[in-house]
Amino acid sequence: MLEKLAKTLRKRLEIIADQKARTSDPKGHLAMLEKVSEEIAQLVHSLPQETHPRLLHFLQRASYSKALEFLETMPQK
């Protein structure tokens, strides 16, 4: 579950960084960003109750870069 969340957060960053898509197809770019944001919201909603409180803090405040950094540096179980 957390790996899928991390992958989706990375995808969001890639979409944001895609300057070519943003300038050539702003509506399509926005649609991609909205879609990935919905995916993130669904994943956050599905997280187990024992999810680390700091990660939840980042996600609830849409601090997605911080959430991704947290996921990438947390010890693996």
For residue 18, give the DSSP letter: -
Instruction: Give CA angle at 52 (46, 55), nearest 5°.
Output: 80
pLDDT, tens digit, 9 for 90 and up, residues 5-45: 999 999 999 999 999 999 999 999 999 999 999 999 999 99
* DSSP code string of 1-70: -HHHHHHHHHHHHHHHH-HHHHHH-HHHHHHHHHHHHHHHHHHHHT--TTS-HHHHHHHHTT-HHHHHHH
For residue 25, give the DSSP letter: -
Model pLDDT, residue 76: 67
